A and B are shown apart, each in its own frame.
Chain A
Amino acid sequence: MSSNEFTPVSLPDALQHLAAVRAIPVAGGTDLMVRHRRCGPLPIRLDAPPLFIGRLPELRSITETTSELNIGAAVTLNEIAAHPAAPPGLTAAIREFASPAVRNAGTIGGNICNASPAGDTLPYLYAAGATVVLASSSTERALPISEFITGPGRTLLGGEELMIRIIIPRRPASFVFYRKVAPRRSNALSKLSVYAEADVDGSSGLPRVAGFRLAVGAVAPTVVRIREAEALVDGTTAAEVRDRADALLEAYRAHVRPIDDQRSTATYRRNTAHTLIRYLLEQELPTFLEQS
């Protein structure tokens, strides 16, 4: 396979190209090909020529160290879900993402760079404290995902840069909670979603919550995760978790700022987010503690 102006064969190739000319990186293309579709067989038109990065070998591997999981930006969603090291929270989100055919083409890098407020991998990645690594022909930089995504469809990706990998810190999380609220069980954009994880600290008497994280998607311009609120739940017993539900909801109230759009209303999103968080804290999480 030889390189040409559209299909670089290596990452350095691709980055040199981006340093020289303006181009739009395309991996799976599952968002672009729909967003820009034209009548029938007319190929989509983008603002600049495409650069196909989906097969660059440097972006296609998953590796683990003792402290983190590294996922290449062009690894597809199904490839992640099938990998033995994939975190259960991420595979839970991927399982409800679009459809098998879309998951075989769509990539984690594409889902992040598309930066939809309803992006299905995002609540997990925010909760996980994921870092994205961006490269240009002369630099490499790493950013927390919460800084990388600045608003709906907006990121800090420079015109000469590609996202090359995503770093997920390893952390113990024996409890995972994920609910995606959508009109169908597949091929549906999220009205809202709630992701939570926790581990158990059994070192002193009753089991207590450790490492609690909670992220809510599609209820604000970007994913909502509030560490001060998470701290309210850490260290609690089952009975105390139930008692903290109101305080936690209060901590989230100002940050859950949904809008009306074609998928749902602000009222529905707010009410349902609160209902799910309350259900998580009054039922699912305490039950998990009691059974551990």
Chain B
Amino acid sequence: MRVSLAVNGNSMVVEAEPLARLLDVLRVNLGLHGVKEGCGEGECGACAVLLNGRIVNSCITPVAATEGSEIITIEGFRETDRYAVIEQAFADTGGVQCGFCTPGFVMATEALLREDPRPSEEEIKHGLSGNLCRCTGYNMIVQAVQSASEKLSE
């Protein structure tokens, strides 16, 4: 079927099976490799994108359910000033090692800070609770979000 949607500000029509994963439409049809497959079952958050402003796991989103929607991937968010602040915060705190989980964590950070610009540590952990990192031990990621939230709400 044909699905009309906007990706990173560009309106388009994609041809895909209704139950095709949004993840695969983004990576294979559209070449957006910043959206990662970590687990393929909605548990790790590496595939997270913003769908109509809300964070979702693209590996468990059927593309037909995105008809008429706006999607922002890390490639789109990367062009914004808010991204630059978050990127710097992650770099400063050492919140990136292999980097595979990072796009998902950045999208989750943005989704959290849009809802709650000055989250407590507990609220940060709750906001990032859909993301897994195998390298860092999380504390530096939490610090990155704290630092970014301070800068973004100045």
Contacts and interface: CB of A to CB of B under 8 A. Distances in A.
Contacts, number: 107
A41 B28 contact: yes
Interface string A98-126: 11111011000000000000000000000
Interface in A56-107: 78, 95, 98-102, 104-105
B41 A52 contact: no
Contacts of B57: 101-102, 105
Contact of A101 (B55, B67, B68): B55
B130 A33 contact: no
Place the interface of chain A in its size category: 20 to 34
17 contacts: A7-B64, A29-B60, A29-B62, A33-B61, A34-B42, A37-B40, A41-B23, A44-B19, A50-B62, A55-B68, A99-B129, A101-B48, A101-B55, A104-B51, A105-B60, A105-B65, A185-B129
B45 A101 contact: yes
Interface string B13-25: 0000111110110
Nearest to B108: A100
A129 to B, nearest CB: 30
B65 A29 contact: yes
Q: From DSSP, what is the main secondary structure of chain B's interface residues? A: mixed
A187 B38 CA distance: 15
Interface in B43-81: 43, 45, 48, 51, 54-57, 59-62, 64-65, 67-68
Given A37-B41, A54-B65, A105-B57, 17 more contacts: A1-B68, A4-B1, A7-B64, A29-B65, A33-B42, A33-B59, A33-B62, A43-B18, A43-B19, A43-B21, A43-B62, A52-B65, A99-B129, A100-B112, A101-B55, A104-B54, A105-B65
Interface residues of B, number: 36
A155 interface: no
